[in-house]
Amino acid sequence: MLSGIFSMVLAAALLVQTEPSCIPEDYDGALDCLDELLTAESKSQLDGMAYNELLGRTHFGLGMWIRNNWIYPDTPLAQELRDTGFQHADDMSGVVVEGYWARRQGCELSIENWVAFYDAYWQSQEQLIESEPDPETGIVEIQVPPGGLRGIPERPRPECDFPLDQTPPARGSHAEHN
């Protein structure tokens, strides 16, 4: 598993070393650009990941590359995603990675469900209770209120014709996306 993580970080690092030849204007364009920019080996690594491990294995590699190149410099993609309802760069890069994975696997991914989830998630964070900073260390303790956080819907998942906790089956459609 660690070799896969390092491979995805390395793949992202290799992309960072070169000027991106494709700058997406919108979400669908980002998926098309990833298809253009990622090597066949990187695509194969993504195809070999179960959905349940996808974000954990790509957040600091491919996800970071997306944030640094397509989100943080106030781009048309970032603006479109904000206009759609996304507020945070991690959420934006995550939905691009998940959308690309879903497209390669022939799955459906609803952007609207993700916007609703993150909206409820960030609103729920306002329920957290912060202590006063410790006078010596400055550390602030954050506690969950009694009864837990309320109002967080279940995390959306793509609709696929295979179990999301398993490696996707090999598909003929991969060849057309490589």
Looking at residue 22, its pLDDT comes to 87
| Tens-digit pLDDT profile for residues 61-107 | 999 999 999 999 789 999 999 999 999 999 999 999 999 999 999 99
Confidence of residue 151 (pLDDT cuts 50, 70, 90): confident
Nearest CA-CA partner of 19 in 73, 56, 82: 73
**Rounded-to-10 torsion of CA 147, 114, 82, 125:** 10
Distance CA 59, CA 123 (A): 23
- In the chain, what are the domain boundaries? 2-109+158-177
Distance CA 31, CA 8 (A): 17
pTM of whole model > 0.75? yes
Q: 50: helix, coil or strand?
A: coil
